[in-house]
Amino acid sequence: MTYNETAYAKINLALHVRKRREDGYHELETLFAFVDAGDTLSAQTSEQDQVTTLGEFAAGIDDPFDNLVAKALSVLPRPRDFEQGLNITLEKNLPVAAGLGGGSADAGAVFRLVERLHGLPDDWQERAAKLGADVPSCVRSETAIGRGTGTELEPLEDDLKGTPVLLVNPRITLSTASVFKAWGQKDLGPLPEGTARDIAEQGRNDLDEPAFALCPVIPEVLAELAKDNAWLTRMSGSGATCFALYEEESARDDALKRLKTERPDWWTLGGKLR
């Protein structure tokens, strides 16, 4: 039997960086949201755990056995009577180092696969956090506020479910560590309060300035997205992917069609927020 899961693309509708922590990480307040498309994982039981990576962006993973799919398998216990491993095929449809939490989303999908087979341990959130700050949010892939390093999740009123969204990446990788290192260390204030839409509209991305300096094409991407009828355009995470939110699917589709024609060198993905 084959088990399939989608590793949903993560976007930060708002990302406020409050301070640099003594452990080297940063104190964040962010609004996570997820697109109804992403990488795909197919799993079958086997004698031992195996990971095969294919797809457009598979080359971005240097060692498929050292990626977050393999690491997620290694941190999840199996019941004593479950003597089989999982043979997982990962199709990388999302760009790597793109601000979409691709690896974290893949790990989250592994957690859901294991949950379907024999459940998750009570401490699954702690296990997920050890793999990366975005992984706990990616396990459930639901709109939520993230605090701390992003692992402390809070539910909120989600009035954005089903919102048409367009993702655009200029096919340039951008190191998250480099962007955070270049952050100006100025606290510009907390995340707004309210519904998901309130926070998205009133919030900001505090990593814009360092990301723009490291990747000057990002403002060009945002300028292109602003040409159409989006009610919000913003960079996701540490970049370089940008997103646009629309009231109508037709507006998103028109923008997607235009960009595919005018900027065929850019990666694009249209979908809806989950």
Q: Which residues are catalytic?
A: 10, 134
Tell which residue, 27, 14, 10, 24, has the closest CA to residue 206: 14
- What Å distances lie between residue 92 and 16, 37, 61, 96, CA to CA? 29, 12, 9, 9
Q: Where are the alpha helices (DSSP H) in 52-101?
A: 68-75
Q: Which helix (H) or strand (E) holds 180?
A: helix 176-181
For the packed helices 68-75 and 102-118, what is the interaxial angle rounded to 10 degrees? 40
CA-CA distance, 93 to 254, in Å (whole number)? 22
Task: Identify whether the C-beta of residue 221 lies closer than 8 Å to the C-beta of residue 240.
Answer: yes
Q: What is the radius of gyration, based on Cα positions, of the chain? A: 18
